[in-house]
Amino acid sequence: MMFLAIYFFILGLIVGSFLNVVIYRLPEEKSIIKPPSHCPHCNTRLKVIDLIPVLSFLITGAKCRYCGASISWQYPFVELLTGIFFLAAYLNFGLTAEFFLMLLLLSALIVISVIDYKYMIIPNVITYSGILIGFISAIIFDYLSIFDSLLGIVIPALILLAVALIFKGGMGMGDVKLVAMLGAFLGYKYSLMSIFIGSLVGSVIGLSLMGLGVIDRKDRIPFGPFICLGAVIMIFFGEQLIDLYFAIFL
Ligand SMILES: [Zn+2]
């Protein structure tokens, strides 16, 4: 138990390091496998010692060992976050099929959040394959019914599509596909709750930033990371929140 917990935390750190590569290369349509990792500034090919998650960053003082260019906090942040998510998923789900599916989904959510935050896009290649994998998993495994997965693909997406068409701007087609992917993995209730939590947190943060004068009305805030945050909260605290939701509203 303890050994596996540490194992999945370290696996998460390593996967997080790979997710950084995906985040860096996917929007620029570069190959994810080739070439090997290199410094984006001086192009020096990185050695194994430069690629140890979090530690390399701390040891070199957030700088490239070869040219001294500073390295973004995004790298250790994504690594650590993936490690924590993997550990939390193991403690929450144990060694089940659902656990491995959640590792996949959580990884996708991290990549989507950072890419949407940086580029204001959500790559189709992730959401489309996510919808497919989520639905096929619902057929193979019994943690979610096929019907719930199917409704999950359709209902939240239609609702968000209607919202996107009525209130132009803010939300995009990427967000619509994102909630379809969430529904495929988690079912329609969890996907709807992710939208609900995401909107709530997003509005509070958006309005606060406007109040503080950090952004103004014209600035677009990507909605994707907030939906992803909502999904992460639902993955770990979904049952409790659904109970609470029905207790308050019904
Ligand atoms: Zn360099």
pLDDT at 31 (0 to 100): 76
- Ligand 1 centroid vs 56 CA: distance in angstroms? 13
Which amino acid, 243? D
Structural domain boundaries in the chain: 1-95, 120-250
Listed residues: CB within 5 A of ion ligand 1: 39, 41-42, 64, 66-67, 69
- Ligand 1 centroid vs 63 CA: distance in angstroms? 8
106-5-187-142 Cα dihedral, nearest 10 degrees: 130
Q: Please enumerate in sequence order all residues whose Cβ is within 8 A of that of 39, keeping only pairs 6 or more positions apart, or say none.
A: 46, 64, 66, 67, 69
- % residues pLDDT > 70 (the chain): 99
- Ligand 1 centroid vs 40 CA: distance in angstroms? 7
Residue 170 predicted with pLDDT over 70: no
pLDDT at 20 (0 to 100): 94
**H/E run at residue 155:** helix 146-166
The pLDDT tens digits for 41-90 are 898 998 888 889 999 899 888 999 999 999 899 999 999 999 999 999 99
* pLDDT confidence tier of residue 134, bands split at 50, 70 and 90: very high
Q: Which of 78, 66, 76 is nearest to 40 (CA)?
A: 66
- Ligand 1 centroid vs 44 CA: distance in angstroms? 6
- Ligand 1 centroid vs 15 CA: distance in angstroms? 22
> Residue 222, preceding bond cis, omega within 30 degrees?
no
pLDDT at 9 (0 to 100): 97
DSSP assignment of 69-120 equals PBPPTHHHHHHHHHHHHHHHHHHHH-SSHHHHHHHHHHHHHHHHHHHHHHHS
Mean pLDDT of 218-223: 82
pLDDT at 185 (0 to 100): 98
Residue 217 predicted with pLDDT over 80: no
pLDDT, mean over the chain: 92
